[in-house]
């Protein structure tokens, strides 16, 4: 797993991936993310893993969207799709 992605997991899950054999949340998250179509996966990765603002994404022309509002609307739809995928994995939501 690339170092940058590992550091993002620490931010999202409170530990490096997977800190324990029984904690499969990072792996479940990655599997669910991979199931999304490329445009959705890209929007989520740019915002939450690359930590780019919507304005930076627009300026750098990293997506097809011409303004931040349309990018936000689409990313919201993508996050809902990701949530549906994760909902199927009960282990993802179990408290430690």
DSSP string, the chain: --HHHHHHHHHHHSSSTTSSTT--HHHHHHHHHHHS-HHHHHHHHHHHTS---HHHHHHTT-SS-SSHHHHHHHHHHHHHHHHHHHHT-HHHH---
Q: What is the pTM of this model?
A: 0.71
pLDDT at 73 exceeding the cut of 80: yes
Query: What proportion of the chain, given as a percentage, has pLDDT over 70?
Result: 69
Residue 1 confidence (pLDDT): 40
CATH number attached to the domain at 23-91: 1.10.10.10
Give me the residue spans of the domains in the chain: 23-91
Q: What is the pLDDT of residues 22-66, one digit of tens each?
A: 577 888 889 999 999 999 999 999 999 999 999 999 999 999 999
């Amino acid at each position: 797993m690339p170092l940058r992605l590992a550091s993002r997991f620490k931010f999202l899950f409170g530990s490096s991936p997977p800190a324990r054999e029984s904690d499969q949340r990072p792996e479940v998250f990655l599997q669910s993310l991979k199931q999304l179509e490329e445009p959705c996966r890209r929007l989520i990765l740019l915002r939450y893993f690359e930590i780019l603002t919507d304005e930076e994404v627009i300026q750098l022309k990293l997506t097809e969207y011409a303004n931040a509002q349309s990018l936000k609307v689409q990313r919201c739809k993508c996050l809902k799709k990701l949530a549906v995928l994760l909902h199927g994995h009960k282990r993802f939501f179990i408290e430690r």
